[in-house]
Copies of this chain bind each other. A is one copy, B any other.
Amino acid sequence: MSAEERRESVVRAAITEFARSGYNGTSTEAIARRVGVSQPYLFRLFPNKEAIFLAASRRCLEDTNRVFESASEGLEGDEALHAMAGAYQKLIAEDPEKLHMQMQMCVAVASAEAAGDHAFGESVRADWLDLWDTVHLALGADVKETTTFLAYGMLINTLLSLGFPPGNRVWSGVYDSARPAGD
């Protein structure tokens, strides 16, 4: 397998592991095991652990961006909104790790900034802005709509991270089309 292909599978494995246990809670060995490769070899493919985390973070935001882009393609206004909400629900149901990874990314950026490392945050913010713009465009460049949509998304992320089961009253005010299934 070529180095590039290996890097690709490392990124996928890293998303799974980092989503579950966070940056500091994930050992490079856990990632290597999931890839099916020796742990030292990761350091031939990436300069260090941070680089793996960054690659996983970026991939995750790009994927989410793509989900919104393709869901809203050709639609506008309320139709685009519901299409994106539905797509998000589907993402949550099929790929909850992406969402957990996003949370891990947030706290990792906060920690990095606190430690004086701004490069990581810079990169993540750029990707997040892309996401913001995608939503903004799809919702007819209405700032209020965009903000509310993303706000609901963040609430959903939070409630899911905290493990509130579908049916709990905290879900009662969330758009049906974006709620986790099962309620």
Contacts and interface: CB of A to CB of B under 8 A. Distances in A.
A21 to B, nearest CB: 5
Interface in A15-32: 20-25
Given A103-B106, A155-B147, A162 B21 contact: no
A110 B174 contact: no
Interface in A142-183: 143-144, 146-148, 150-152, 154-155, 157-158, 161-164, 169-170, 172-174
A110 B158 CA distance: 10
Contacts of A121: 162-163
Nearest to A114: B20
A162 B113 CA distance: 9
Main secondary structure of the interface of A (DSSP, over half): helix
Interface in A27-59: none
Which residue of A23, A100, A104, A155 has the most chain B CB atoms within 10 A of its CB atom? A155
Contacts of A115: 21
A179 B44 CA distance: 44
A147 B129 contact: no
A70 interface: no
Interface of A: 20-25, 100, 103-104, 106-107, 109-111, 113-115, 118, 121, 124-125, 128-129, 132, 143-144, 146-148, 150-152, 154-155, 157-158, 161-164, 169-170, 172-174
A164 B20 contact: no
A115 B30 CA distance: 14
27 contacts: A21-B24, A21-B111, A21-B115, A22-B22, A22-B23, A22-B24, A22-B107, A23-B24, A24-B24, A25-B111, A103-B110, A106-B161, A107-B107, A109-B161, A109-B162, A110-B162, A110-B163, A118-B163, A125-B162, A125-B164, A129-B170, A143-B173, A147-B172, A147-B173, A150-B155, A151-B152, A151-B155
